Amino acid sequence: MNINISRKTVAAAFLVSAMALPVPAFAQDDALACATQHGLTSEHSTRVGDLTFTNSSDAYIQIFRVDPDGTSMEMTSLEAGQTSKLTQNREAVYVGLDSQGNCMGAGKLRESRATITFGG
């Protein structure tokens, strides 16, 4: 499944698990606000799957997973034109923030394989 996000909400399908980095409080607030702005909330799931993030914007983007309790974990960061593949939790919400913390899009994943493209 391919999902193109251009400041739009996408509720897609997918699975999740991965090592994540702790997030500063200001970024957690921005990530949660981005998910909320798009009306998305994460659900608990132990299922995992393969996820590809693509940055087709001109900006550097940080990708965060927003957990059901509202905490955020940085999953990866992407330079313009870069792609990253991760194994991630199903039913989690993923948001992309630019270097100023602006919401670049959000998606909720439910399938075993998915691609989210930010920008473009």
CATH architecture of 2-118: Sandwich (2.60)
Query: Structure pTM?
Result: 0.75
Whether the predicted pLDDT of 81 surpasses 90: yes
**Tell me: the pLDDT tens digits for 34-71?**
999 989 999 988 888 888 889 988 999 999 999 999 88
Residue 85: its pLDDT value, please? 93
Q: Which two tokens stand for residue 17?
A: 């698990």
Q: Count other Cβ atoms within 10 Å, centred on residue 24.
A: 10
Whether the predicted pLDDT of 3 surpasses 60: no
Residue 111: its pLDDT value, please? 77
Closest alpha carbon to 54 in 77, 76, 84: 84
Of the candidate ranges 27-36, 38-47, 107-116, the one whose mean pLDDT is the lowest: 107-116
Closest alpha carbon to 120 in 10, 35, 32, 3: 3
Q: Are 106 and 38 in contact (CB under 8 A)?
A: yes
**22: buried, middle or exposed (CB in 10 Å: 19+, 13-18, 0-12)?**
exposed
